[in-house]
Amino acid sequence: MAFIRKKERSKERFSLLLLDLEEYYFEQHTAYQLTTRCSSQNSAPCKFRGSFKVCSKSVIFEPEDASQPILKIPLKDCRRIEATEDNERNPFTESKPPCISMESRQVYLIKDGNVVAPYKIERSDQDILFQLEISRKTEDVVQTLLQLHRASCLDKLGDQTAMIAANLQSRLARTSFDKNSFQSVSELPHMECEAEMISPLVTNPGHVCITDQNLYFQPLNGYPDSVVQIRLHSVRRIYKRRHGLRPLGLEVFCSETDLCSDIYLKFYHTKDRDELYYYIATFLENHMAEHTAESYMLQWQKGHISNYQYLLHLNNLADRSVNDLSQYPVFPWVISDYSSPRLDLMNPATFRDFSKPIGALNTERLERLLARYRDMPDPRFMYGSHYSSPGYVLFYLVRVAPEHMLCLQNGRYDHADRMFNSIAETWKNCLEGATDFKELIPEFYGKDSSFLQNELNLNLGKRQGGCCVGDVVLPPWAADAEDFLEKLRSALESQYVSEHLHEWIDLVFGYKQKGSEAIAAHNVFHPLTYEGGIDCDSIEDPDQKIAMLTQILEFGQTPRQLFTTAHPQRITPRFHNVSTATTSSSELSPLSPSEDSSFEDLTEESKKMAWSNMSKLSLQSSHKIHKEAVTGIAVTCSGSAIFTTSQDSTLKMFSRDTNALQRSVSFSNMALSSCLMLPEDQTVVCSSWDNNVYFYSVAFGRRQDTLMGHDDAISQMCWKDDQLYTASWDSTVKVWRCVAADVNSNKRSQFELLAEFEHDAGVNCIAVSPAGTLLASGTKDGILSIWDIGSLSPLHQLNCHSGKIHQMAFSPDSRHILSVGEDSSLKVTDVQTGMLISTVPAEEEQRCFCWDGNTVISGGQSGDLRVWDLLSSKVTQKLPAHTGAVTVMWMSEQCSTVITGGEDKQIMLWKPQY
């Protein structure tokens, strides 16, 4: 499984899992156990050579003879620890070296016969002798054991913990990182501090050192390796972690896809963690983009990452790690049918209801839980257990991680009837059990099925019917364990799940996780499970503090909340019909163009080709035709005539046929702010800072009409379905029906005000969705609003930018809005939920752009053009263009021509190069 390391130490039986939880392994010595209890028939004394390990709460002796059990002697059970040369207690009298004598009430025998099994416990007074190979160390070891024994015998748990921690810190202070471990003599160390390396149920203290080339961890005890090395150039992802409810963790990944990290460190001070994090982040910033939940959401929505990958990313961002069983990645139950002979992924009844937590799926059980909830004093909760905890994780993984289960449960397995025996039984208990609300773990959607099979031949006990616990019983529709996982993967990536997964994300990572929305969704767990539910540092009583922390870690923790508004739905393609789950998820593919009758072959293909080559834009020509900054561009359908407006108050027409300026007209002495071409190329509409809209007849070369529409400057216009939308600094957007006058008569055009949208600040830009049903507006104070044109009601309003919004535009599918503003960022907003799902920082202010929903070409304050890949948040091309800010940009419908205008009074014509 994910946290079981690939490099297993097959010959070494000892592991840190033999220690108690929160116990430390300090040092080891080669030694002999002296005993008269031998495996032979006679009772002659025997010496077993092995490793004598001093731990903070116990002594562990690992014999070299693998047939002999490992001995674990809890220090709290020792009546006496001393160095002795007493010949009566030492039958090996020839040299009379000093021995360590330990009298204990209880001894654990582990891996007897080298078999992983529940620990055997000998509960009787025993005098156990050990002889160190280096005898001069005997007295020092005895003194250490006596000190640790005193700590173990203290009445209060807090006092025990404090004394052991003091011993640990003393050891760390007396040692330092051995710089002889550097890979290269030329390495320059940046910082060194103490930390603990974390793996499931295990903490291993030591020294961290980071250089200009590597990150090192050197365990205090030299186990399992003398040093762990991570090359900084290999690092792909780093995450700050909350460990033990405190911001002390740091996890480093050297791959983009592995579930398990290369190292997980817990620091003793947050400032050490943060300094190391920022050093690595600075090192990586040139070749690694920092991803946020919103950036991953955008990739997932567009189908660039799978449902499985997206859930892994969300778990990572929400502090879930396979190295921390109290915060193990959580995945949903997807299938609800575990009895049918065939699995039908086209039938909605096959799937669970993703809008409800596990505890609310069974109506009868939910009613009982709600009745208890209503009668409960504050703080109230609906569920007395969590959907993810260390016990639940190991419930699923006991067959591949038996030593972890034995560590968690003090050397015992769970009762055979309570173990993970059957998929159907487990699902049924999650639906009906009074205290069982667990979800799944990522292994159910992986490719390693070993956790479902008892390949180690473990003796996991007998059930009430007399049968032994063996492999997990699979549903009838699964041929074997591999087939079961393959079908679950197909289900996770299926059309139904893709359309509903956002509902489960709202419950676990999103806005239904806490507060009134959680109550309405029947999604309320114990308050201690939530981040910030309690400040352990504020608890003064050490015993109470440790008990509280232990309770929280063992009970389970809710992931860190990633979203505070409704999560958008995935944009799902149409798939071939799949009647049964016999096809792997990799084989499910959208309909090809030839099979989709609505596919506009030439148009769509040419657009895709143009956008794929947008990073290869080539300047065709440039023309300085204005006296001030260009503010608007409109082009005839044939592309032969280009109309531009400017702050110099003129509308000008440039002919591409003659490559010359042909017309210039002025409507007032104030700046024109935008222009657009009405259908059929008969009329150009211009907006002005003088509060008016001017209609210019292309055929007659004169002003045709004037619309006195606002009380302040008009900033931008849109035209859709014979309706004109005007935005103004008077804080309104108005919608007009325009009935054009007959050019051959003296009648003027008719303008009817259809709607007015009010804002709290001047409106700087607007956009209308391709379907003409939604309006987006951006104000001078950075507020983005989305309006329903039909009902004239606001759908969403959010503080999008810190400063003026320069431009916004809907994606071609109307699902997203891209905006740029004074805060030098590009931001993507989900139209359905109003959620800001991606923020891409830019080096400078971007003033205008065109986009296809993923690729963006933008014009910046310096005059450069930039091509962006929003999914990776990276600039793929930077092109020098204008000598001043790029103020306006136009693109042809086929994306074959781009025209830009700037503060340098020029227009520039560009073409993608194929």
Q: Mind giving me the DSSP string for 479-536?
A: SSHHHHHHHHHHHHTSHHHHHHHHHHHHHHTSTTSSHHHHHHTT--B-GGGSTTS--G
Question: Is the four-CA dihedral 108, 112, 117, 122 of positive or negative sign?
Answer: negative
Identify whether the C-beta of residue 805 lies closer than 8 Å to the C-beta of residue 782: yes
Highest CATH level, class, for 176-290? mainly beta
pLDDT of residue 6: 44
Name the 3-class secondary structure at 138: helix
User: How far is Cα of residue 199 from the mean position of the Cα atoms in its chain?
Assistant: 20
pLDDT of residue 592: 33
- Residue count (the chain): 914
- Boundaries of every domain in the chain: 16-172, 176-290, 325-555, 604-912
pLDDT tens digits along 587-609: 333 333 333 333 334 456 777 77
Give the whole-angstrom CA distance, residue 654 versus residue 643.
Answer: 6
pLDDT tens digits along 304-327: 899 999 999 999 999 999 999 999
Highest CATH level, class, for 604-912? mainly beta
Taking 70 as the pLDDT cut, the residues of the chain under it are: 1-11, 36-44, 86-96, 286-290, 537, 573-604, 740-749
Asked whether this chain's domains 16-172 and 176-290 adopt the same fold, the reply is: yes
pLDDT of residue 299: 86
Q: Put the strands of the sheet holding 906-912 in their side by side order.
A: 617-624, 906-912, 898-902, 886-891
Name the 3-class secondary structure at 370: helix
pLDDT tens digits along 42-93: 556 788 999 999 999 999 999 999 999 999 999 999 999 999 875 555 555 5
3-state helix, strand, coil in the chain (%, to 5): 25, 35, 45
Name the 3-class secondary structure at 795: strand
Helix (H) or strand (E) holding 543: helix 542-555
If you search the block for the tokens 């016999």, which residue do you land on? 582
Q: Mind giving me the DSSP string for 373-434?
A: HHTSPSSP-SBSS-S--HHHHHHHHTTT-HHHHHHHTTT-PPPGGGSS-BHHHHHHHHHH-S
pLDDT of residue 3: 66
Give the homologous superfamily in CATH for domain 325-555: BEACH domain (1.10.1540.10)
Question: Is the four-CA dihedral 471, 476, 481, 484 of positive or negative sign?
Answer: negative
pLDDT tens digits along 273-283: 999 999 998 88
Q: Thinking of the domain 16-172, which architecture would CATH place it in? A: Roll (2.30)
Q: Put the strands of the sheet holding 846-851 in their side by side order.
A: 846-851, 855-860, 865-869, 874-879
Output the average pLDDT for the chain: 89
pLDDT of residue 89: 52
